[in-house]
């Protein structure tokens, strides 16, 4: 929610669920890029929920050296979007 500073009228509203679903995986991918062991070529992604599914594209975009991606999750339906 963004409010007018002088009279606190609502100016705009945003869907924070969508923002959070993208922000957390994007920040995690940047953290991996900054802390990855030199020469690392693989990563284990844990989670097949919304944030887990969104993490894969961010990881690949920020860490192109990763050639082996492993995924663990308890929601098999969360894997389907990754293969489409």
Read off the tokens for 77: 């339906």
- The pLDDT score that the predictor gives to residue 35 is 92
Cα-to-chain-centroid distance, residue 33: 13
Any bridge partners for residue 70, and if so which?
44
Tell me: pLDDT of 76 over 60.
Answer: yes
CA distances (Å), 23 to each of 16, 74, 84, in order? Answer: 10, 22, 22
- The pLDDT score that the predictor gives to residue 19 is 80
Q: Residues 47-69: pLDDT tens digits?
A: 888 878 888 888 889 989 989 98
Q: Residues 35-45: pLDDT tens digits?
A: 989 899 998 88
- The pLDDT score that the predictor gives to residue 82 is 60
Arithmetic mean of pLDDT, 71-80: 80
How many whole angstroms separate alpha carbon 68 and alpha carbon 77? 21
Any bridge partners for residue 68, and if so which?
42
């Amino acid at each position: 929610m963004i409010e007018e500073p002088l009279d606190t009228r609502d100016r705009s509203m945003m869907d924070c669920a969508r923002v959070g679903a993208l922000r957390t995986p994007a920040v995690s991918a940047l953290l991996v890029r900054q802390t990855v062991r030199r020469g690392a070529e693989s990563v284990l992604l844990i989670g097949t929920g919304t944030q887990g599914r969104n993490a894969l594209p961010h990881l690949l975009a920020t860490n192109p050296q990763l050639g082996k991606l492993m995924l663990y999750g308890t929601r098999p339906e969360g894997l389907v979007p990754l293969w489409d």
